[in-house]
Chain A
Amino acid sequence: MKRIGVWGAAIGLLLIVAAVLLAGPISGHDPLAQNLSDRLLPPGTDGHLLGTDDKGRDVLARALYGGRISLLVGFVAATAAAVAGIALGLLAGYYGGWWDRIISGMADIWIAFPFLVLAVATLAVVGGTVPVLVVLLTFGAWVTPTRVTRGLARRLRGADHVQAAIGLGASDGRIIRRHVLPAVLPANLIVWTLTVGTLILIEGGLSFLGLGVRPPTPSWGNMLSDGRGYLELAWWATAAPGAALTLTVLLTNLLGDALRDSLDIKLRDR
């Protein structure tokens, strides 16, 4: 049952990624091409599988191209946060002492800050380009992988098999590489999948508020914001990005849950 969950969710996500990358061939339209005579067409009309929006642009094309930004930002930022988190967590957990005090202190302080407020303020000043979004969301997500890694690394430091390696004369580098790092990766994988979903949602929210990706470049968030204005006239222009966003985040959460369950069993077997 759990195996199906992992593979099902993973395949679903891969399909979404593939669809998004093949946005051009699949939709056959330019997401930015406005055609005011073809505005607000319902799905299925005239070669527009999901209809058109209030500027005559193909909704399917916009939804797929828009997914690129959301997925890109989500994946990259989550990955950057994971890399940073693992590095910092290893330092804090394995070495302890001052490293731990500084890093854990930073994490505690950071958590106390209202992140979204900071994000909004930054974006308002600097503008919502993709690099800025990625950096910002990485800052928003580094604490969890750090804490998770720190906890595991701390416990491993005192574990018998690590003590045995120390007793054999292994250097810290070797111990971290061969004993600690492989042990923290599974948990971080789970955190990563859940973070991707969360960050995609946050990016969507920021774009919705007009702070993220600016029109006419489509993103799920700004499409939702646009579509609000003519919801009764062309609900499909909102439904498409909404469904895509929901489905993607749902799949990342399912993947994370399924991974946690399947890894738990393996841990219990030992």
Chain B
Amino acid sequence: MSALVIENLVRTYDGGLTAVDNVSLTVAAGETYALVGESGCGKSTLARCAVRLDTPTGGRIVVNGRDVTRLSRRALRPLRGGFQLVFQDPMSSLEPRLSAHDAVGEALRIHGRYRPEAVDALLTEVGLDPSLGARLPHQLSGGQRQRIGIARALALEPQLLVLDEPVASLDVSVQAQVVNLLRELQDRRGLAYLFIAHDLAVVASLAHRVGVMYLGRIVEEGPAAQVLTDPQHPYTRALVDAIPVESPALRRERTVLKGEPPSPVERPGGCVFHPRCPIARPSCAQEVPALEERVPGLRVACPYS
């Protein structure tokens, strides 16, 4: 049974904004599916829909085998432990007045399962000394706060974690520590991750599969090694090329896109990428390219690449 199945997800807002436009993806149990894209692509909206902190306008969300798309908050309550969201900014996702211990403990208290030893065990598992439990969020470093957020998400023994840019606001050296922690947790607990990010390099060390989003649609999806080293879709290629190289010796010819990602309120017709696409043809403005499976496991939405 897959940890997460998203089918034809649509999320629109009054006023014509389409954040997610018919997205389908599957996260297998125990694997990391990394969803990458730049600002405005809808990945955060999708993340919130996946854990039902937002309600989709259309489509289905099946978590751990249960269809949770239209469930009420009351019906969701007993299921919530099974899937949790780790937020990007650990400062804002922790209640400023709650100590670290209480922040993690609250997860257990809500479901009547609180035991102080359980909280200590969770803190230790994420690499924190339980004695830090007495501290308030503003007395902890960014990395420590994010570990608290992860511990809190693990408290109810989920099978799926959705992580929305979990290391983006951390120092570079701390990012590596937290990413390593996430990988260890995944291996140890068999967790499935839907990992939302814009930083491809971070994704590389964690992901089994990668999906690339642009303006609400998935444009490419496949095994991580494949997508990151041999991208098929012109946008993916530009994303990979845009990573500043660590060594001047590796400088190469690269696609540098013109312009900016347009706002989701003004989505271009046809292929949403066509205005910035280096290989766009006139027909791209009219036809919406379907996500086609080129080889098993690899889908690309561009007939000309």
Contact = CB atoms under 8 A, between A and B. Distances in A.
> Does a CB–CB distance below 8 Å link A and B in the complex?
yes
A165 B106 contact: yes
B228 to A, nearest CB: 30
A167 B92 contact: no
A182 interface: yes
A164 B97 contact: no
Given A160-B89, A164-B93, A169-B110, A270 B138 contact: yes
B53 A163 contact: yes
A159 B107 contact: no
A161 interface: yes
Given A167-B53, A169-B110, A179-B95, A160 B87 contact: yes
Given A182-B97, A269-B138, A270-B138, A166 B53 contact: yes
A169 B78 contact: yes
A168 B138 contact: no
Interface string B84-116: 110101011111110000000011001100000
Nearest to A174: B110
Given A169-B80, A169-B81, A170-B110, A164 B96 contact: no
Interface size class of B (residues with CB under 8 A): 20 to 34
Contacts of A166: 53, 73
A160 B93 contact: yes
A170 B149 CA distance: 16
A167 B85 CA distance: 7
Interface in A243-270: 269-270
B152 interface: yes
B94 A161 contact: yes
B281 interface: no
B252 to A, nearest CB: 39
Given A168-B156, A169-B76, A171-B77, 13 more contacts: A161-B92, A161-B94, A161-B95, A163-B87, A164-B93, A164-B149, A167-B84, A168-B80, A169-B81, A169-B111, A178-B95, A183-B97, A270-B91
Interface of B: 51, 53, 73, 76-78, 80-81, 84-85, 87, 89, 91-97, 106-107, 110-111, 137-138, 149, 152, 156
15 contacts: A160-B92, A161-B92, A163-B85, A167-B53, A167-B85, A168-B156, A169-B78, A169-B80, A170-B106, A178-B106, A179-B95, A182-B97, A270-B96, A270-B137, A270-B138
Interface of A: 159-161, 163-171, 174, 178-179, 182-183, 269-270
